[in-house]
Amino acid sequence: MLATFSDMLPYISPYVPKADDPLLLQALQKSYRTFCFQSEAFRVVETYDSVADQQTYAVTPANLATGHQGIRVIGVWTRTSQQVTDGDDGQFIPVNKYRVSFPSESVINIFFFNAPFDEVITDGLRVEVALVPNMDSDSVNAHFLNRWSEGVIAGALGILYGMDDKEWFNERALDRHMNIFIDQVSFAKRETEVENSHANIVKDFRSWL
């Protein structure tokens, strides 16, 4: 099972044998981050205790303290005590009922225009957040990496083949791997029910360098 970027080196180094390992690792890191950003498929769901008449909740997914940042709040749900007991998702809250802000890398604030609770409920607030690793982070989620390894590897190869100042520059190979990357991002979007257009996917790997 792939658990680090180093584990992926055998899958890309034969294709670009003159590239050194630090450059290969950097390409994998950039590809992984861009895949997460474009697909919004790396998500966490966490619950928080409700507070009576409170309008602002600070959401602090554990991943934010381990080299990741939130890019979008995918959904917010409120739950009654019975729904918590039953394991129900709860009542989905429309996006026009709250506002989201990102005051720091480790905190996401959700401000409700009307307080959603009139009592304390353990795990009453349920929040789903899309995350990306920080630019300088080598932190990966092993399950996500293995699920979308084909796309991440294709993206890394696209980055490498798109380096027009290197002897291994190959525009045909760049296009081929870019198309694989785009397809994989599209699959990830559909799998996680993100309604983004295929046209919004980054199509120029050179812009990542």
What's the pLDDT tens digit per position in 151-160?
999 999 999 9
The percent of residues above 70 in pLDDT, for the chain, comes to: 92
Mean pLDDT for 105-116 is 93
User: Which residue type sits at 196?
Assistant: N
Domain count, the chain: 2
Q: Report the candidate in 16, 2, 34 with the shortest Cα–Cα distance to residue 181.
A: 34
Q: How far apart are CA 101 and CA 115, in angstroms?
A: 17
Shared domain for 99 and 121, answered yes or no, is yes
Specify if 170 maps to a domain.
yes
Specify if 164 maps to a domain.
yes
What's the pLDDT tens digit per position in 4-30?
999 999 999 999 999 999 999 999 999
Specify if 124 maps to a domain.
yes
Shared domain for 156 and 179, answered yes or no, is yes
Specify if 1 maps to a domain.
no
Specify if 190 maps to a domain.
yes
Shared domain for 177 and 204, answered yes or no, is yes
Shared domain for 147 and 96, answered yes or no, is no
CB burial readout 151-180, b (16+ within 10 A) else e: bbbbbbbbbbbbbeeeeeebeebbeebbeb
pLDDT at residue 40 is higher than 60:
yes
pTM for the full predicted model:
0.86
| Residue where one domain finishes, among candidates 81, 98, 133 | 133
**H or E segment and range at residue 207:** none
Specify if 49 maps to a domain.
yes
Q: How far apart are CA 189 and CA 40, in angstroms?
A: 7
Shared domain for 47 and 115, answered yes or no, is yes
Determine the structural domain holding residue 26 and report its residue range: 6-40+141-208
Q: Do 83 and 132 contact (CB within 8 A), yes or no?
A: no
Shared domain for 36 and 69, answered yes or no, is no
Shared domain for 123 and 60, answered yes or no, is yes
Shared domain for 62 and 113, answered yes or no, is yes
Q: How far apart are CA 96 and CA 81, in angstroms?
A: 25
Shared domain for 159 and 177, answered yes or no, is yes
C-beta neighbour count of 53 within 10 angstroms: 10
DSSP characters over 75-100: EEEE--HHHHHHT---EEPPGGGEEE
Relative orientation angle of helices 149-161 and 171-191, to the nearest 10 degrees: 150
